[in-house]
Amino acid sequence: MAILGDAIHSLTDFFNNIVAWAVIRFSIQPPDREHPYGHRKFETLAVFGLASLLTLLSFELVLHAIQREQTDVTQNTVDIVLMLMVLTTNIGIAAWQRYWANKLNSAILLADASHTFADVLTSTVVIIGWLLAAHGYVWLDTICAIGVAILVLFLAVDLFKRSVPILVDHSAINPDKLQHSIIAVPGVKNIKRLRSRYIGSHLAVDMIITVEPHLSTADSHDIADRVEDMLENQHDVNDITIHIEPETKQFPNQNI
Which of 120, 139, 167 represents a domain boundary (last residue)? 167
Please indicate, yes or no, if residue 78 is contained in any of the structural domains.
yes
User: Residue 182, Cβ neighbours under 10 Å: how many?
Assistant: 21
Write down which residue in 167, 192, 226 finishes a domain.
Answer: 167
Total of domains in the chain? 2
In a domain, 68, yes or no: yes
Rg (CA), the chain: 25
Task: Tell me: do 180 and 150 sit in the same domain.
Answer: no
Q: Tell whether pTM > 0.85.
A: no
The reply to whether 97 and 10 lie within a common domain is yes
Q: Which CATH number do you get for residue 11?
A: 1.20.1510.10
Q: Tens place of pLDDT for every residue, the chain, 256 residues? A: 666 666 766 776 777 777 777 777 777 788 888 887 777 788 788 888 878 878 887 887 787 767 655 555 566 677 778 778 888 888 888 888 888 888 877 777 777 777 777 777 777 777 777 777 777 766 776 777 787 788 778 878 888 888 888 888 888 889 899 999 999 999 999 999 999 998 877 889 999 999 999 999 999 999 999 999 999 999 989 889 999 999 876 555 554 4
- In a domain? residue 80: yes
Note whether residue 256 is domain-resident.
no
Range of the domain at 133: 2-167
Based on the fold, state whether residues 49 and 112 are members of the same structural domain: yes
